[in-house]
Amino acid sequence: MIRFITFIGSKLLNVAQGLGEMLALFCETVYYFKEAPRNLPSIFRQMNLIGVGTLPIAMLVALFVGMVLSVQTGTQLALYGTQEAIGAIVGMSMVKELGPVMTSLLVAGRVGSAMAAEVGAMQVYEEIDALKTLEISPVRYLAMPRLIACLFTVPALVSFAIVVGIIGGGVVAEVNPKINVPFTVYYDNMIRALTYKEIFKGLLKAMVFGGIIAHVGCYVGFKTTGGARGIGESTTRSVVLSFLLIMVANYFLTRFMI
Amino acid sequence: MAPDKYYKSQHVVSQGPLGSFWSKLAHGFAPPIMEGDFCPVNFSGSHGVSIKISKLNKSFGATHVLKDIDLIIEPGETFSIIGPSGTGKSLLLKHIVKLEKADSGQILINDHDVNEPQDKNLPRNFRYSMVFQSSALFNSLTVGENVGLWLRENRIYGEVRIRRIIREKLRLVGLAGKEEMRTEELSGGMKKRVAIARSLAMEPDLILYDEPTAELDPVTSDELARVIMSLKEKVKLTTIIVSHDLNFALYLSDRVAMMHGGEIIAIGTPSEIKKSQNPIVRNFIYTTTKGIKGEGD
């Protein structure tokens, strides 16, 4: 029994320590935002990696998400003769949930894991120590540019994804004989349902998720130990942790913005 | 340190408006600190520093890794710490450059406790740099960018002057004209030399080498020894070398300390170490092939 309590206690302490360290790293990263002007090249490089590199796959995923959403929902609505609402449903779903969440999960899998692996490799191969001896803060040099890049790039990616997803849904609504909603009707209904406030909320979510992805990737990278195996474990851990935190944050953001 | 020791800028670099804009876009918008009248960095060259380590202890859990280390290193000295793997040599080095914090004890560099916060209003009177076992070069950067990293990140000089320094430091380690090479194109010995050039770009007063000959063949080790020897003659800095390569350490050093089980068990000139009667030292050095510089010439 004592062994069990000790086990639970040590796990809880580990979680508390991890959360504390993540918070401390986040505060330090935000503190270094003031140094962003001198790290512009690095920020642009990260934006290119995150944004341009992820754009094609994000578009493709969003296109099919919009199409599936349209075909699934449209056929059900058609049973009750209300398929004209499909534009509003796809639009709202893409803007409020699917766009930000799906794109962020994609970025977490593609970019967050790469960040964890890169920073982790730097940790394992003493490059982080080398930065410290060169009087360069690893948080300023590595974490800050990645966080800023993610904060701006993920909402931009989500914007594209939303547009492509809505177009995909519209095309399916028009060409699928079971739905058969003209694109103009689809578009009008979507525009009527969407407000700037909803779009802002969706992009705000994307920004928060972007922050989570960069922060988790860097935190897990900085904590990497144990050579190549450790780098592999960090990659997996960053993806799992990012997914988990994105889902948790999504609930709370939705709860407070509703 | 008194304010009169602030150092006047000697190397202000002017750039044209267009060149300046692209340079800023490429290297960030913060201005070089040397553009002002006074610079918080002393760039009047390297000066050796003294190091005094007293009663330094470090444990990891139940393992007592460093045990009451006492050591004095004189300014300008080349000092080697030898010993078998796992005796705490590299860990001692990491304490000197503040990558590790001791459980107890003190490290003074030029009588300044390295763990005491620095007064930000005063310029520091020494700089240190470390050459890591793995070289620790940044793969995303070219050779030149690696060498100039500290100067650029700390906005020490303008871009033209930084490029000149990069060329100069690479020439010093025998890698002139290699600025544009990628680090993955370099051999192990070249990587070590780039790491040394990167350290020298800081104009350090103390340079630390962690296992410089690890993973190098004997010929490359010899080349590296020649580079360090020539630096010793050209740049007056304090050098600490941690190595289990006895030949390398005895050849380069003014004094040598041997560590065993987290303690310093012998210290002296290379000749004294070779003549030591300590059975552990004798056991460690029973084979030498290169001998001591100057002996038997």
The 10s digit of each residue's pLDDT in A152-191 is 999 999 999 999 999 999 999 999 999 989 999 999 999 9
- Count structural domains, chain B: 2
Distance, C-alpha A202 to centroid of its chain:
12
Is B14's pLDDT higher than 50?
no
pLDDT at position B79, please? Answer: 93
**Would B18 be classed as within a structural domain?**
no
User: Where does a domain end: B202, B221, B237?
Assistant: B202
Closest CA to B247 of B292, B210, B295: B292
Phi, psi of A240 (to 5 degrees): -60, -50
B88 and B152 part of one domain = no
Give, rounded to a whole angstrom, the gap between the first and last alpha carbons of chain B: 46
Q: Which whole number is the average pLDDT over A73-80?
A: 92
Q: Domain check: are B152 and B227 in the same one? A: no
Asked if B186 and B221 sit in the same domain, the reply is: no
pLDDT of residue B12: 38
Q: For position B174, what pLDDT does the model report?
A: 85
Q: How far is A136 from chain B (nearest CA, A)?
A: 7
Residues B182 and B221 reside in one and the same domain: no
Nearest 5°: the CA angle B90, B91, B94 is 90
Is residue B275 scored above 80 in pLDDT? yes
Same domain membership, residue B287 and residue B157: no
Residues B168 and B268 in one domain: no
Q: What totals of helices (H) and strands (E) does chain B contain, helices first?
A: 10, 12
Give the separation between CA A165 and CA A213, rounded to whole angstroms.
22
Domain containing B248 equals 44-117+206-297
Q: In whole angstroms, what is the distance from residue A195 CA to residue A197 CA? A: 5
* Mutate: best of A40, A125, A127, A134, partner B, most B CBs <10 A: A134
Q: Does residue B214 sit in the same domain as residue B189?
A: no
CB contact set of A249 (below 8 Å; sequence gap of 6+): A205, A208, A209, A212
Q: Do the Cβ atoms of A38 and B134 come within 8 Å?
A: no
Q: Is the pLDDT of residue B26 over 60?
A: no
Q: Can you tell me the mean pLDDT for B67-85?
A: 90
- Same domain assignment for residues B192 and B234: no
With CA atoms as reference, the chain A residue closest to B150 would be: A134
Measured between alpha carbons, how far is A114 from A218 in angstroms, rounded to an integer?
Answer: 10
pLDDT at residue A247 tops 60? yes
Note whether residue B36 is domain-resident: no
**Domain segments of chain A as ranges:** 53-257
Q: Residue B286: helix, strand or coil by DSSP?
A: coil
User: What is the least distance, in Å, from the CA of B30 to any CA of chain A?
Assistant: 5
Answer whether B136 sits within 8 Å of A136, measured CB to CB. Answer: no
Average pLDDT over residues B142-166: 87
Q: Reduced to 3 states, what is the DSSP secondary structure of residue A24?
A: helix
The answer, yes or no, to whether residue B297 has pLDDT greater than 70, is no
* Same domain, yes or no: B112 and B259: yes
Of B202, B226, B243, the last residue of a domain is B202
Look at residue B127 in the predicted model and tell me its pLDDT: 84
pLDDT in tens, A225-243: 988 899 999 999 999 999 9
Among A47, A133, A225, most B C-beta atoms within 10 A, so best to mutate, is A133
In chain B, % of residues over pLDDT 90:
26
pLDDT at position B110 is 85
Per-residue pLDDT for B8 more than 70? no
A130 interface with B at CB cutoff 8 Å: yes
Per the CB < 8 Å rule, is A41 touching B153? no
Which one of B202, B224, B240 terminates a domain? B202
CB pairs under 8 A between A and B: 57
Burial A7-39, CB ≥16 within 10 A → b, else e? eeeeeeeeeeeeeeebeebbeebeebeebbebb
Query: Is residue A5 predicted with pLDDT exceeding 80?
Result: yes
Considering the domain architecture, whether residues B113 and B56 belong to the same structural domain is answered as yes
B69/B89 same-domain check:
yes
Q: What is the 3-state secondary structure (H, E, C) of B170-187?
A: HHHCCCCCCCCCEHHHCC
Most confident of A61-75, B14-28, B120-134: A61-75
CB contact under 8 A, B136 and A40: no
A 10 A CB-CB count for B286 gives 8
Nearest CA in chain B to A138: B153
pLDDT of B134:
87
Least confident of A91-95, A114-118, B76-80, B242-246: B242-246
Q: Say which residue, B95 or B115, is predicted with more confidence.
A: B95
Residues of A in contact with B158 (CB under 8 A): none
Closest CA relative to residue B295, chosen from B273, B279, B280, B277: B273
Contact B96, B210 (CB under 8 A): no
Name the closest residue on chain B to residue A132, using Cα atoms.
B99
Write down the pLDDT at residue B122: 55
In chain B, which residue's Cα lies nearest the Cα of A36? B28
ipTM above 0.90, yes or no: no
From the CA of A222, how many Å to the nearest CA of chain B? 14
* Chain mean pLDDT for chain A: 93
Is the model's pLDDT at B55 over the cut of 50? yes
B184 and B53, same domain (yes or no)? no
Assigned domain for B12 exists:
no
Report the C-alpha gap between B212 and B72 in whole angstroms. 22
Residue B198 in domain: yes
Which of 18-57 (A) contact B at CB < 8 A?
35, 37-41
Pairing of strands B255-260, B78-82: parallel
B186-201 confidence digits (pLDDT tens): 888 889 889 989 988 8
From A37, A126, A136, residue closest to B136, measured CB to CB? A126
pLDDT at B293: 59
